[in-house]
Amino acid sequence: MTPHAYADILPDIGYLQPMQDLKEIHIVMPQNSPAQPLDHVNTYSRPSDLRITDIRIATIVGAPMRCPLIQVYTNQGLVGYGEVRDGASKNYALMLKCRLVGENPCNVDQVFRRIKQFGGHGRQGGGVSGIEVALWDLAAKAYGVPVYQMLGGKFRDRVRVYCDTDVRGKDDGTAMGHALQQRIDMGFTFLKMDVGIGLLQDEPGTLTAPLGYLDELRQAIRRPGPEYSAEERRELARKWYALNNTAHPFTGIRVTEHGLDFMEQYVADVRAVIGYDVPLATDHFGHIGIEDCIKIAQRLDKYNLAWYEDMLPWQMTQHYVRLANSCTTPICTGEDIYLKEDFMPLLSSGGVSVIHPDLLTCGGIYELKKIGDLAQDHGVAMAIHMAESPIACMAAVHAAAATENFLALENHSVDIPWWNDLVTGLPDPIVKDGYISVPDTPGLGIEALNDEVIAEHLDPDDPGLWECTDAYDRLDSHDRLWS
C-alpha cells in the first residue's frame, strides 16, 4: 500500500506525509483543526487492521536451557517475539496457531482469553505465555510505545537482577562463597545458590532412604545418548521420569543430624566469604518431606537468608503454612503456577512471604503484573523466575518495571558468552552492574533476532530455523468449554 492510500482510512484526521520507510506513519494535522485521539501518537502500522499471518519457531540449546523462540508475523510487516518456557515443547505454542491466524494481536486480552484454556501449570503454560509475550510486543510496536507504557507506566527505570550460581563444581561452601563473591565483583547486589540434599549424596551418613533408592537416583539418565538403542533410550528416559516425578512427601528420603550439620557448615562457609551485607536466596533443597524441610529451615535461619525457595510442591498449601510458621526466613514459591487464581491459596493462607512466578508459565506479561498486584494486596513481595533467552528476560523487565512490589529478577545466563548476541537493539551487555535498564523503544525493545547466532546454537534434535508451520494451520476442534 502506498502512503497516500492511508488517507482513505483516516479521512477526517488529516493527510499522511509520504515516507520511504512505510513501517512508520506520520500524521500531519491541518492548521487549526480540532484535537484528535492520535495527535500525539506515532503509529508504526494500522493497529485496527493488524492481523496475525504466521507463527514460526527456532529452538536453541545452551542458553543455558533449551529454549523454543517464537516469531509471530503480521500482514503489515511487524514481527512479534515470544518464547516457550525453558525445557518445554514448541508444540505448546504451535498448537495455538490455528486459533491465532487472522486475529488482531493488539487485542491482547481478548486473544489471551481465547487461548488460555490450552495452558497449564509448569512447562504446559509455556505456549500460551510465550504467545502472549509476542502479542504485547506486536501491540506496543504497532502504537510505537514500550510495553511497560501499555501496562500503566513504570515504577522504576532499571530492574534489579539476582544472579543464580549453580552448585556444580563448588564442592564446599568456601568454593561457593568465592564464586558468589565474583558475582558481587561484577556488580550484582542480590545472589542465589543451591543448597540441599544434592550436596549430601556422596557424604556417608547424611541421608536415610529405602535401600537402593538413592543409587537409582544417582544412576538415572535423563537424556540417554546415541550409544543406546532407541528402545534403551525410551526405557532409560521412562525410568528417569518415574524416579524424578515422585513428590516430596512420598520419596521416603530423610536428612540425618550429620546431614544437617553438613548443610549448615556449607552455608556458614559461604557467609564467611561474602559476609552478611548482601541478600542470599537458596533453592533446590531436594524431594524431602515437610518435617525435614522444617529441620533444615530452622538450622539455616541464623544465616539471614533472603528466602527458601520451592522446598515443597506449590500445591501443598497447608505444608507451606506449617513451614512458614516454623521458621523466620521468608518462604518463596510460584515458578510453576499458571494464572493468578492458583496463587490465591498460598497468599490468603500466609504460606509465603515472596512469590516467584515465571513469566513463561504464569500466563505472560499482563498476568504477571496481575499476580504481583494480587500479592501486594496480601503484603507479599514478588521476585521473578527467569532461565531463558533475552526475549523472556526483556518481557519480564517490562512487567517488573510496571509492578510496584517487585523485588528482583533471576538470570541464569551470566556465564553464557553469546546470550547477549541473540538479539539486537539492546545495550551490550544487557545486564550491567547487576541491573537491566528499562528500554523506551517500541515493544520489548528488541530490534531484531540475530539469526546467525541462533543458527549456531540450534537444538541438534530440532535444527530447523523458522521453518514452515503450515501443518498447524487447520482448526479441527470445537474449543468451547460450556454447552
Q: List, for residues 270-308, the tens digit of each pLDDT value.
A: 999 999 999 999 999 999 999 999 999 999 999 999 999
Q: Is pLDDT of 84 > 80? A: yes
Neighbours of 267 (CB within 10 A): 22
Q: Is pLDDT of 129 > 70? A: yes
Q: How would residue 366 be classed by pLDDT, with cut points 50, 70 and 90?
A: very high
* Mean pLDDT on 414-421: 96
* Mean pLDDT on 80-104: 97
For residue 341, give the nearest of 316, 374, 312 by alpha carbon. 374
Neighbours of 424 (CB within 10 A): 13
Q: How would residue 43 be classed by pLDDT, with cut points 50, 70 and 90?
A: low
Q: Is pLDDT of 168 > 80? A: no
Contact 99, 122 (CB under 8 A): no
Percent of the residues in the chain that have a pLDDT greater than 70, as a whole number: 90
CATH 3.30.390.10 in the chain, residues?
50-145+463-472
Q: How would residue 222 be classed by pLDDT, with cut points 50, 70 and 90?
A: confident
Contact 44, 78 (CB under 8 A): yes
CA atoms within 13 A on the CB side of 300: 31
Grid coordinates given for 101: 491466524
DSSP H or E segment with residue 274: helix 257-274
Contact 332, 356 (CB under 8 A): yes
Q: How would residue 195 be classed by pLDDT, with cut points 50, 70 and 90?
A: very high
For 171, phi then psi, to 5°, come to: -75, -15
Query: In angstroms, what is the C-alpha Rg of the chain?
Result: 24
Q: Is domain 50-145+463-472 given the CATH code 3.30.390.10 in the classification?
A: yes
Neighbours of 222 (CB within 10 A): 11
Q: How would residue 29 be classed by pLDDT, with cut points 50, 70 and 90?
A: very low
For residue 67, give the nearest of 77, 76, 57 by alpha carbon. 57
CATH 3.20.20.120 in the chain, residues?
158-447
pTM of the model: 0.90
pLDDT at 15: 29
pLDDT at 38: 52
DSSP H or E segment with residue 355: strand 354-355
Q: How would residue 18 be classed by pLDDT, with cut points 50, 70 and 90?
A: very low
* pLDDT: which is higher, 8 or 120: 120
pLDDT at 361: 98
Q: Is pLDDT of 12 > 60? A: no
Burial of 453 (0-12, 13-18, 19+ CB in 10 A): middle
Helix segments in 56-211, DSSP class H: 91-94, 97-100, 108-115, 126-143, 147-150, 173-185
Cα–chain center distance at 112: 17
Grid coordinates given for 18: 509520504
Tens of pLDDT, residue by residue over 428-443, are 999 999 999 999 999 9
* Mean pLDDT on 400-409: 98
Question: Domain 158-447 adopts which CATH fold?
Answer: TIM Barrel (3.20.20)
In angstroms, the Cα distances linking 9 to 33, 264, 481 are 18, 69, 38
Contact 442, 141 (CB under 8 A): yes
Reduced to 3 states, what is the DSSP secondary structure of residue 21?
Answer: coil
Contact 70, 134 (CB under 8 A): yes
Roughly what angle, to the nearest 10 degrees, separates helices 173-185 and 257-274?
A: 30
Contact 147, 393 (CB under 8 A): no
Contact 305, 222 (CB under 8 A): no
pLDDT at 26: 40
pLDDT at 171: 78
pLDDT at 23: 42
Q: Is pLDDT of 468 > 60? A: yes
* pLDDT: which is higher, 166 or 110: 110
Of 18-32, 57-71, 298-312, give the lowest mean pLDDT range: 18-32
pLDDT at 348: 98
pLDDT at 9: 34
Sign of the Cα torsion 127, 141, 66, 456 reads positive
Q: Is pLDDT of 359 > 80? A: yes
Q: Is pLDDT of 20 > 60? A: no
Contact 262, 199 (CB under 8 A): yes
Of 10-19, 171-180, 297-306, 327-336, give the lowest mean pLDDT range: 10-19
For 160, phi then psi, to 5°, come to: -70, 135
pLDDT at 77: 95
Residue 468 CB contacts under 8 Å (≥ 6 apart), including other chains: 56
In the block, residue with C-alpha cell 512447562 = 123
DSSP state of 417: T
Contact 392, 133 (CB under 8 A): yes
Residue 355: beta bridge partners?
333, 382
CA atoms within 13 A on the CB side of 438: 22
DSSP state of 461: T
Cα–chain center distance at 242: 26
Grid coordinates given for 1: 500500500
